[in-house]
Amino acid sequence: MSEKLVVIGNGMAGIRTVEELLKIDPLAFDITVFGAEPYGNYNRIMLSPVLTGEKAFDEIVTHDEQWYVDNAITLHKGKEIIEIDRVNRKVIASDGTQADYDRLLIATGSNPFVIPVPGNDLEGVVTFRDMHDVNIMLDTSKQHKHAVVIGGGLLGLEAANGLMQQGMSVTVVHLMDTLMERQLDEAASNMLRASLEERGLNFLMAAQTETIIGKDRVEKVRFKDGTEIYADLVVMAVGIRPNIELAKKAGIHCERGIVVSDTLQTFDPRVYAVGECVQHRGMTYGLVAPLFEMAKVCANHLAKHGIGRYEGSVTSTKLKVTGIDLFSAGDFTGDETTDELVFQDKASGVYRKLVVKDNKIQGAVMYGDTIDGTWYFDLLRDETDISDMRKNILFGQAHLGDSGHGEENRVAAMSDTAEICGCNGVCKGDIVNAINAKKLLTLEEVRAHTKASSSCGSCTGLVEAILANTVGGDYSTAPHLKPMCACTDMTHDDVRAAIVNKELKTVRDVMTGLEWKTSDGCAKCRTSLNYYVVCAWPKEGLDDYQSRFINERVHANIQKDGSYSVIPRMWGGGTSPKELRAIADVAEEYGVETVHVTGGQRIGLYGLKKEDLPTIWKKFSDAGMVSGHAYGKALRTVKTCVGKEWCRFGTQDSTHLGVELEKMTWGSWTPHKFKMAASGCPRNCAEATIKDFGVVCVDSGYELHVGGNGGVKVRATDFLCNVKTEDEVLEYAAAFMQLYRQEAHYLERTAPWLERVGLSYVKENIVENDEYRKELAALFRESQKYMQADPWAERANGTDKHEFEPIATITVGKTATTA
């Protein structure tokens, strides 16, 4: 018989935890849920759009009653638990319903704070917390005119905006003299106030409520200074308090919230708590993102998978008032040890401030254009050193040499037909519809349902912004430490470290040793793991071909019709009549329809049949040609110009250098494709400044450039350093490649990796630390000893024959005659 799990609280935190638990182990528990409200689970964050009339209640229900039935969960709605009997391990509801538990999850959320003034119990005085409150507000707005919202924070402003949309005349009363002082600095706050005033809201700042006056229902509000204003409705939105009464009564240790450990357990280890009711490492949270992170860890622990720990959240805020873009995160006030970077254009309504300490972002406030909010937030959480981009950082990610989506960054203003994901042809409208219709909450879910941002990923920022705009801000933030995939809770970095430290030398060992949740992993993690194993253990690690993507398994590029392309290597872009003849012969003999010169100075043959590949490779092998690895996450090409040998401007022998670079690096596997180029002079005909590693020859030697790429998001390289000799170029190239190979995540190109770790970090390791550079270069050369066997020649000689031949050929016709 399964153990019994009882959940107190049918809100977002409790149900999210149950959902996570069902994903991991649907049979672990008999689950019973008690909820005080008479509904299934709905998205509380979306009460604001219900109040404005932008959404109906049905649209914000995330789990209807059928969901509980489908998942064999017993739901007691409208039943409030009044007692937890920890001795007999049962809970008792107000109507006498009882339920036994083996594990108990408290997710009672929080209560709105009602200020203790006379008249706060009059009819027409409400809080803004649940659907019941919203219904009262909507009803009142139909019959009355004057609304007063007490509280100029996030919730208060959303309530005020909603009531105004419903036709009421609204005054916001705030104790402080700036709005949202916990999320905004003075400048942004003033811009927000001006914009809201323009829309018709009235403000009474620095006003302390003294009495709410009325006979049966509210009539007026009086302040300390004696002024009075008319009010038919008073909304108290001054804050929330963790709802801990029940836990406290049961003797569970509480301070401001129910105190929990990193595994979300209270002082009674059978009792867990998640969401707004908890206090973790001294912090309480009133936003959704932390709650999701808690739910994941808690579910993991309940399912006894327990390697996850909740280590607290850094949160960001976004106001859900249509047309107002506002973002804040971290500590944006600063002190004497911090610097402020500020960009302000009042006329255009744009304001951005970053608080920076030791070149790391501590906090951010943005008003007007917030598309870069998620980017700043990532930099904040990753503690990225921003010294290299400090001069441009306020202009946003688009101005870091990335010409990807240009000006298209105000998603709210984009039309529904604007294409967001160019790879999969997904428009803004498709994404918004999917989010609304399928009630999607996370980037992963949007990817799964719409395919947007699931291919090249360049539109991820836009998709996150649309998600934030559609469902409310704090959903959009992916967890800080992202697990590799659904098969594990470990991050790429954790896994890489464990492969080295625990000496895991096969993909199977990694999955067993690190307690993978799935039997064989998935296409995402297996390919990553295989690369990490091969990179860490070039000699003795097992290269598992069944964990390689098809292109790397058969050493050719699969095309959309299932045929393959073949692109032989041409060292440094040079070729010869003999090689060209071999290519021409193959093209004719195998009826190649398309012969194409690639961007990397190679010749590609397209439309070849898989079973012909080994014999084609034999022909190339006989002509002295090897695999071009045009199919791999590997060294691709070294593009060159003809250099000083021919060109009247050439300063060095760039062609020779290119060949040497390619001879040294070919065959190496890298986290993502890796391209190089060597140009003979600063005219840079080989386009070295958009390569992963580029060399620009100058009269005095060689300029080295790193982290560039063309393609989806063009990024020009960063200048690494100057060197004097070819040997040095080779050493720096080997060291840079090895650092990238060892530290980047699988499928992360040098450009995003460099932006993540910072150019300074790379310089410290490659340029300033001679010893470490030499060590890295030596590691690279050692690894290459095992990587430079030509895979084409091996397969021409019979390796992996089964990959290329059918197991059987049978004739069935329509009437199955064979037996």
Partner 1 sequence: MSAVKKEDKNWIEVGQIDDVPKLGARVIKTDDGNIGLFRTADDEIFALRDECPHKKGPLSQGIVHGKKVTCPLHNWNINLDSGEAVAPDEGCTASFPIKIEGSTIYIAI
114, 558, 714, 778: which one contacts partner 1 (CB under 8 A)? Answer: 558
Binding mask 355-384 for partner 1 (x = CB under 8 A): ------------------------------
Task: Indicate whether 449 belongs to the interface with partner 1 (CB under 8 A).
Answer: yes
At which residue do the structure tokens 């009075």 appear? 228
The 10 Å CB-count burial string (b at 16+, else e) for 404-413 is: bbeebbebee
**Residue 302 CB coordination number (10 Å):** 25
Give min distance, CB of 559 to partner 1, in A. Answer: 9
Q: What is the DSSP string of 594-645?
A: EEEE-TTS-EEEEEE-GGGHHHHHHHHHHTT--B--TTSSBEEEEEE--GGG
Give min distance, CB of 161 to partner 1, in A. Answer: 34
| 467 or 554: CB nearest partner 1 | 554
Task: Indicate whether 70 belongs to the interface with partner 1 (CB under 8 A).
Answer: no
Q: Hey, CA dihedral for 270, 274, 278, 284, is it positive or negative?
A: positive
| 120 or 551: CB nearest partner 1 | 551
CA pair distance 579, 556, nearest whole angstrom: 19
| In contact, 95 and 106? CB cutoff 8 Å | no
Task: Indicate whether 806 belongs to the interface with partner 1 (CB under 8 A).
Answer: yes
Q: What residues pair up with 595 in beta bridges, in sequence order?
A: 605
| 385 or 552: CB nearest partner 1 | 552
Task: Indicate whether 814 belongs to the interface with partner 1 (CB under 8 A).
Answer: yes
> Considering only 201-209, 377-385, 646-654, 801-809, which stretch makes contact with partner 1 by CB under 8 A?
801-809
549, 761, 772, 786: which one contacts partner 1 (CB under 8 A)? Answer: 549
546, 648, 699, 798: which one contacts partner 1 (CB under 8 A)? Answer: 546
Task: Indicate whether 550 belongs to the interface with partner 1 (CB under 8 A).
Answer: yes
Q: What does the block give as tokens for 751?
A: 């450009």
| 87 or 808: CB nearest partner 1 | 808
> Considering only 96-104, 162-170, 171-179, 811-819, which stretch makes contact with partner 1 by CB under 8 A?
811-819
C-alpha closest to that of 45 among 64, 35, 59, 66? 59
| 541 or 643: CB nearest partner 1 | 541
Residues 6+ apart with CB under 8 A from 468: 318, 374, 475, 476
Task: Indicate whether 818 belongs to the interface with partner 1 (CB under 8 A).
Answer: yes
48, 161, 374, 527: which one contacts partner 1 (CB under 8 A)? Answer: 527
Residues 6+ apart with CB under 8 A from 787: 538, 667, 668, 669
Task: Indicate whether 521 belongs to the interface with partner 1 (CB under 8 A).
Answer: yes
| 456 or 714: CB nearest partner 1 | 456
CA pair distance 564, 584, nearest whole angstrom: 17
Task: Indicate whether 810 belongs to the interface with partner 1 (CB under 8 A).
Answer: yes
| 550 or 595: CB nearest partner 1 | 550
> Considering only 145-153, 275-283, 533-541, 808-816, which stretch makes contact with partner 1 by CB under 8 A?
808-816
Task: Indicate whether 808 belongs to the interface with partner 1 (CB under 8 A).
Answer: yes
Give min distance, CB of 32 to partner 1, in A. Answer: 27
| In contact, 635 and 674? CB cutoff 8 Å | yes
At which residue do the structure tokens 């400044």 appear? 689
520, 764, 768, 770: which one contacts partner 1 (CB under 8 A)? Answer: 520
CA pair distance 672, 652, nearest whole angstrom: 30
| 48 or 547: CB nearest partner 1 | 547
Strands 41-42 and 61-63: antiparallel
448, 500, 580, 789: which one contacts partner 1 (CB under 8 A)? Answer: 448
71, 518, 576, 797: which one contacts partner 1 (CB under 8 A)? Answer: 518
Task: Indicate whether 614 belongs to the interface with partner 1 (CB under 8 A).
Answer: no
Which element (helix H / strand E) includes 137? helix 131-143
Give min distance, CB of 435 to partner 1, in A. Answer: 13
Q: What residues pair up with 352 in beta bridges, in sequence order?
A: 343, 366
| 310-314, long-range: CB < 8 A, 24+ apart | 310/262, 310/263, 310/264, 310/280, 311/262, 311/281, 312/280, 312/281, 312/283, 313/285, 313/289, 313/480, 314/377, 314/380, 314/381, 314/480
Q: What residues pair up with 209 in beta bridges, in sequence order?
A: 223
Task: Indicate whether 442 belongs to the interface with partner 1 (CB under 8 A).
Answer: no
What is the dihedral angle through the alpha carbons of 490, 491, 493, 497, rounded to the nearest 10 degrees? 10
| 256 or 438: CB nearest partner 1 | 438
> Considering only 5-13, 14-22, 676-684, 810-818, which stretch makes contact with partner 1 by CB under 8 A?
810-818
At which residue do the structure tokens 């995003």 appear? 752
> Considering only 30-38, 57-65, 177-185, 523-531, which stretch makes contact with partner 1 by CB under 8 A?
523-531
C-alpha closest to that of 146 among 125, 171, 119, 173? 171
Task: Indicate whether 560 belongs to the interface with partner 1 (CB under 8 A).
Answer: yes
Which element (helix H / strand E) includes 674? strand 674-679
C-alpha closest to that of 171 among 107, 235, 227, 82? 235
> Considering only 151-159, 204-212, 410-418, 539-547, which stretch makes contact with partner 1 by CB under 8 A?
539-547
Give min distance, CB of 561 to partner 1, in A. Answer: 8
Task: Indicate whether 223 belongs to the interface with partner 1 (CB under 8 A).
Answer: no
| 449 or 763: CB nearest partner 1 | 449
| In contact, 382 and 330? CB cutoff 8 Å | no
Task: Indicate whether 88 belongs to the interface with partner 1 (CB under 8 A).
Answer: no
| In contact, 119 and 213? CB cutoff 8 Å | yes
Task: Indicate whether 438 belongs to the interface with partner 1 (CB under 8 A).
Answer: yes
Task: Indicate whether 811 belongs to the interface with partner 1 (CB under 8 A).
Answer: yes
Cα of first residue to Cα of last residue in the chain, in angstroms, is 49
| 150 or 554: CB nearest partner 1 | 554
Task: Indicate whether 405 belongs to the interface with partner 1 (CB under 8 A).
Answer: no
| 146 or 633: CB nearest partner 1 | 633
| 79 or 633: CB nearest partner 1 | 633
Task: Indicate whether 580 belongs to the interface with partner 1 (CB under 8 A).
Answer: no
Q: Hey, CA dihedral for 618, 670, 759, 772, is it positive or negative?
A: negative
DSSP state of 703: E
| 357 or 451: CB nearest partner 1 | 451
| 117 or 486: CB nearest partner 1 | 486
- Number of residues this chain uses to bind partner 1 (CB under 8 A): 36
27, 87, 597, 819: which one contacts partner 1 (CB under 8 A)? Answer: 819
Give me the residues that bind partner 1 (CB under 8 A), please: 438, 448-449, 451, 454-455, 518-523, 526-527, 545-547, 549-550, 554, 558, 560, 562, 802, 806-814, 816, 818-819
